[in-house]
Structure 1
Amino acid sequence: MRASSSSPTRGAGVTVLAVAVAALILLPLVVIAAQAMSLGWDTASAFLFRPRIAELLRHTGALMVVCIPATLLIGVGAAWLVERTDLPLPGVWRTLLLAPLAVPAFVSAYAWISVRPDLAGFSGAALVATMAYFPFVFLPTAAMLRVLDGSDENIARSLGASRRTAVLRTVLPRLRPAICGGGLIVALHLLAEYGVLEMMRYQTFTTAILQQYAVGFSDGQGSLLATVLLLLCVLVLTAEVILRGRARVARVGGGTPERPERIPLGKWMIPAILALTAVVALAVVVPVALVVKWFVASIDQNVVAWGDLLRVTGTSLGLAVAGGVAAVLAAIPAAWLLSRRRSFVSMLLERVTFVASALPGVVVALALVTLTVRWADWLYQSTAVLVSAYVILFLPRAVVTLRSGFAAAPPELSEASRSLGVGGRGTFARVVLPLALPAFLTGFVLVALAVATELTATLLLAPTGTRTLALAFWGASDELDYVRAAPYAVMMIALSAPLTLLLRRQLRGSGSRVSKKEQV
C-alpha cells in the first residue's frame, strides 16, 4: 500500500521535472520569436524582402538539394554493399565508413582549403558536407538491414519476382524510416553548419546570423534571420514526417527471423571496392593525412605550444564532462516517462525535447545572449549559460539512450523491490540504475564528445578568457595559420575517435539481437 500510494506523487514529480526541462528547450524559440516580433511588421518585412535574403535562401537551398541526395546515395549504397552483398571484410568497411564522424566537419574543411584554396565556394562546401554527413545515413540504414527479416523477400522470390523486384517491393519500403531519419539529420546539420561554410566562404543563414551578431550585437535583425532559419527547420521536420509515412515496417508474429542471403557481386566486385575506397579516401584519408602533415610541420618549426595545448584540452574536457553530466541528468525525467508512462503528455514532451535537434547552435546562443543581457546580466558569459546551451543542443542524444536503458529495467522488478519495503530512491539505486548504467554511460559519452568539438554556441557564449580546442583551432585557422592550428585539430580528432568506436560497437551488436519490441 505504501508503494502504490506514493506512486502518483512520484509520477507527478517526474512530470514536473520533465516539463521544466521542456521549458528550457523551448526558451530559445520564445526569446527569438519575441525579439523578432518586437520590430513590427513594416520593419521586419523591409528587412526580409531584400535581395540578400533571397540570396541566402538560394545558397541554403542549393546546398541541401545537392548534399541530401548525395549523402542518401552514398549512405544507402554503402550500407547495401556492406550488409547485403559478399563484399570482403565487411567489418573493416563498417569501421572505415563510420570514421568520418571522428573528424569534425570544420576540421575537414580546414584540411581541404589549406591545400586547395580554389575549392572555396559552393563546390568545396558541398564536397566537405557530403563526405562529413553521409555516415548519418549509412549508420541507421546498415543497422536496419542487419535486423530486417528476409522471409518476405524470399517469399517474393519464390513467387517468381526477380531479385531487384523483390528488393524494391519488400526491402526498400521497410528502410524508409531509416533513410528518412538519416536524411533529416543531414538536413538539420546543413541548416546549422557554420564552420565548414565560413571556411569555404559560402554564405548561408547561419553564417549571416553570426555576421549580423558581430555588427549588431544580437539585435532584432539577427533574430529575424534566426526566425527564418527556424522556419526552414520546421519545414524539414514536416517533410520528414510526410515522407516517412505511417506504414508498419517491423516484423509481426513469432518465430525466428530469417537472415537474407548475401548477393554475389560478381563482375561488380572491383567497381564496388573502388567506389567505397574513393569515399573513404575523400572523407577520411585525405583530411587526416593533411592534418597530420601540418602537425608534423608544426613540430618541425617548433611552434607547438604544448602548455597551451594541454590547458585548452583540459578546458574542453572539463566542459565536455559538465555538459555530458548535465544533459544526462536533464534527460532522466523525460526518458523515464517515455519508458514507463506512454501517454499524450509524455509523447508531447518527447516532441518538444527533440526540437533541440533542430536548433542550430547559433540560434540557441543568440537567444541565451539576449536573455542574459536583458534580464540576468550577472549570468552573461558564464559557464552555467554555456552548459545550458549544451544541454539544449544535445539533450536528444541522452534521452534516446536513457530511454533504452530504462526499458532494460522491467517495471516488475521495481514493483517487487517496493513490495519488499525498499523506497523509491533505494529501488532506483539498487535495481534500475545497475541495469540502465550502460545507457547512462553511452548517453554521457555521446553528449561529451559533441560538446568537445562544438563551435558556434561556444564562440558566442564562452566566458572571457575561456578557450576550447574548437575555439583555439578556429582562431588560428581563421588567420590562415594552418601550422599553428594543426595541433588543436589533431587533439579534436583524438577526442572524437571514441565516438566512432562506440557507434561501431552498437552497429555490430544490432545484428546479433532483435528486441521483442521490433518483432511486435
Structure 2
Amino acid sequence: MLPLAYLAVRSFERGGGVVWDVLARTRTAELALRSLSLAVAVTASCLVLGVLGAWLVVRSDLMGRRAFGVLLVLPLAVPSYVAGFTWISVVPDLTGFAGAFVVLTLVSYPYVLLPVAAALRTADPAVEEVARSLGRTSRQVFFSLTLRQIRPAALAGGLLVALYVLSDFGAVSLMRYEAFTLGIYTSYRASFDRTPAAVLGLVLVVLAIALTVGERKARGVVAHRGRRQPSTVPLGRARVPALAGTVVLVLLTLGVPVVSLVWWLVAGTSTFSVADLLATTGNTVAVSAFGALLTLVLALPVGILAARHQGRLVRGVELAGFAGHALPGITVGLALVFFGIRFAPPLYQTTPMLAFAYAVLFLPLAIGAVRTGVAHAPPVLEDVSRSLGVGRWETGRRVTVPLAAPGILAGTALVFLTCAKELPATLLLRPTGMDTLATELWTRTEIGAYAAAAPYAAVLLVVAAIPAVVLDRFLRRTIQGGER
C-alpha cells in the first residue's frame, strides 16, 4: 500500500488548490482522453480477436486448431516494447495512435483468448444443443447463447487488456503516442517540481480503479460447468476464410517480430559489444532473481494464511497484497522515487529499492501461486503426520513443502519473467550505471539504433522463455496429476 498512500500524500501536501490546478489543465484532459481512447479501441479489438480465436480453436473444426491454440497464445510472452521495436523498424511510419493500437492489440488479445477458451471448454453444451434441435442456426446459437455464457470470462479478459493498455509505457513511448504513462515520465524528467507527476499518477490509478469497478458490475452470472465435452461445430463455407484469418493473425503477431529480429541481427552483427550484452544480461538476471526472491518471501505468509485460514482479517491482508496489481509500473516507480528521496536516501537508486518495486507490482502473482501450492497439500495429511508423532516443523518439511513446492516454483518463475520485462519502474529506480536488457533496448530504439537494439531484444526473449518453459512443464504435470 506504500506507493498508493505516498502518491496521495505527495499530491496533496501543498493543498488541494495545487491538485486542482493540475487537474484543470488542458494537457491533463488531453492525456486522459488519449489514454482512454486507446484503451477502448484496443480492448474492443482484443474482445473480437480473443472471442473468435477461442471459439475457433475450442469449438470449431478448424484445420490444425491444436497448433493454432498454442501459436495464438505465444504473443503473451512478447513485451510490448519488443513488439513495438520490431514493427517500427519494419514500418517506420507506423507511429502515433495507429502504431500503439496495432502493437498493443497484437500482444494483448491472448488476455481475452485464454479465459474465453477455458469458459468454452467447461460451459454446459446442453443449452446450445437444445437450441439447434429447435431449428436455430450455428450463428444464431453463437450470438444468442454462447456469447452470454462466456461474457464473464470475456469481460474479465477485457479488463486485463484495458489495465495493461493504461499502464503500458514501452509501446506508447516507442510509437511516440503521448498517453498518461509517457506524460507522467515526461513531467517527472522535465521539471524540478514533481507534484504534477504525482497528481497525474494518482489520476491514472483512479482510472484503473474505475475500470475494475465497471467490469465487476457488468460481469454477470458465470455459466455452469458441463459434465461432458461440447460437440464440434462444422465451419462449412467459412472454413477457408477462418483458416486464412487465423494464419494472418499468427503472421502478424509472431512472423513480423521474428523476421524483423533476424533481419536486424544479421545487419547489426558489428554494431554491438558482446561484453556489454553479457553484462546487461547478467544485470537483468540478477535483479530479476532478487526481485522474484523478495516477492516470494513477502508472499509466503500471505499465501499460507489465505490457504489455511478464513476471516475478514485474512481477506483484508490478501486484498492489501493485491493493491499493487492495479498500479501501473510508472506510478509505483514514481512513488518510490519520492519515498526514497524523502525518507530512505541510502536506498534510493539501489538494487534493493528496485527489487521492492518489483515486489509491489508482482506480489499478487506470488500470493496466488503460494495459496494454490499450499492448497494442494490437504490439511488432513498434516493431521495424520502429527498423529504419528511427527512435529509441526518436521511435518511441514516432509509433507507440506514437497506438495506445495511445484506451485510455488511456478509462481516464482512467473514473477522472474515479469521482472525481466518491466520497463518504467526499472528506468526510474535502477542504480546509476546499471542497465538491463529492457532499458538498453528502449534507449537504443529511442534514437533509432535498431541494429544495435536487436541483440538485446533477442536475448530478452530467450531469458523470458526459460521461466515460460518451467511454467509449461508445471502446468502439464498438474493436468496429468489431476487426470490421475
TM-score relative to the length of structure 2? 0.94
- The alignment partner of 1:69 has SS state of helix
Matched with 1:307 is 275
Task: Report how many aligned residue pairs link the two structures.
Answer: 483
Note the C-alpha offset of 1:170: 4.8
| 2:250 counterpart of 1:280 | yes
Note the C-alpha offset of 1:198: 0.8
| 2:28 counterpart of 1:56 | no
Tell me the alpha carbon deviations over residues 290-332 of structure 1, each in whole angstroms, 9 at most, x when there is no partner. Answer: 1211111111xx2231111111111111112112222222222
1:8-27 matches, within 5 Å, as 26-27=1-2
Distance 2:390 2:142 in 1: 53
Distance 1:471 1:426 in 2: 45
Matched with 2:416 is 448
Tell me the alpha carbon deviations over residues 437-472 of structure 1, each in whole angstroms, 9 at most, x when there is no partner. Answer: 111111011110111121110101011121110111
Distance 1:482 1:397 in 2: 33
| 2:387 counterpart of 1:419 | yes
Distance 2:410 2:40 in 1: 33
- The alignment partner of 1:303 has SS state of coil
| 2:4 counterpart of 1:34 | no
Distance 2:287 2:159 in 1: 28
CA contact (8 A) 2:413 2:471 kept: no
Tell me the alpha carbon deviations over residues 200-223 of structure 1, each in whole angstroms, 9 at most, x when there is no partner. Answer: 110111111111111235711111
Tell me the alpha carbon deviations over residues 152-171 of structure 1, each in whole angstroms, 9 at most, x when there is no partner. Answer: 43344456655445445554
Q: 1:388 aligns with which of 353, 356, 372?
A: 356
- The alignment partner of 1:117 has SS state of coil
Tell me the alpha carbon deviations over residues 46-70 of structure 1, each in whole angstroms, 9 at most, x when there is no partner. Answer: 2211111111111112101210010
Matched with 2:319 is 351
Q: CA RMSD in A?
A: 2.2
Paired amino acid for 1:489: A
Note the C-alpha offset of 1:473: 1.2
Paired amino acid for 1:186: V
| 2:102 counterpart of 1:123 | no
CA contact (8 A) 1:150 1:260 kept: yes
Note the C-alpha offset of 1:240: 1.3
Question: 1:507 and 1:95, CA in 2 relative to 1: closer, same or farther beyond 3 A?
Answer: farther
Matched with 1:291 is 261
| 2:166 counterpart of 1:191 | yes
1:363-374 matches, within 5 Å, as 363-374=331-342
Matched with 1:226 is 201
Note the C-alpha offset of 1:174: 3.3
- The alignment partner of 2:233 has SS state of coil
Matched with 2:445 is 477
Name the structure, 1 or 2, with higher relative contact order (CA <8 Å, separation 6+).
1
Q: 2:65 aligns with which of 67, 90, 102?
A: 90
Tell me the alpha carbon deviations over residues 127-165 of structure 1, each in whole angstroms, 9 at most, x when there is no partner. Answer: 000001011111121122223332343344456655445
CA contact (8 A) 1:139 1:507 kept: no
Question: 1:160 and 1:412, CA in 2 relative to 1: closer, same or farther beyond 3 A?
Answer: farther
CA contact (8 A) 1:100 1:283 kept: yes
TM-score relative to the length of structure 1? 0.88
CA contact (8 A) 2:414 2:471 kept: no
Tell me the alpha carbon deviations over residues 355-384 of structure 1, each in whole angstroms, 9 at most, x when there is no partner. Answer: 222111111111111111111111111111
| 2:230 counterpart of 1:260 | yes
Structure 1, unaligned stretches of length 5 or more?
A: 1-25, 516-520
Distance 1:258 1:130 in 2: 33
Distance 1:402 1:264 in 2: 42
| 2:48 counterpart of 1:73 | yes
Question: 1:514 and 1:414, CA in 2 relative to 1: closer, same or farther beyond 3 A?
Answer: closer
CA contact (8 A) 1:76 1:138 kept: yes
Structure 2, unaligned stretches of length 5 or more?
A: none
% identical aligned pairs: 39
Shifted more, 385-394 versus 47-56: the winner is: 47-56
- The alignment partner of 2:322 has SS state of helix
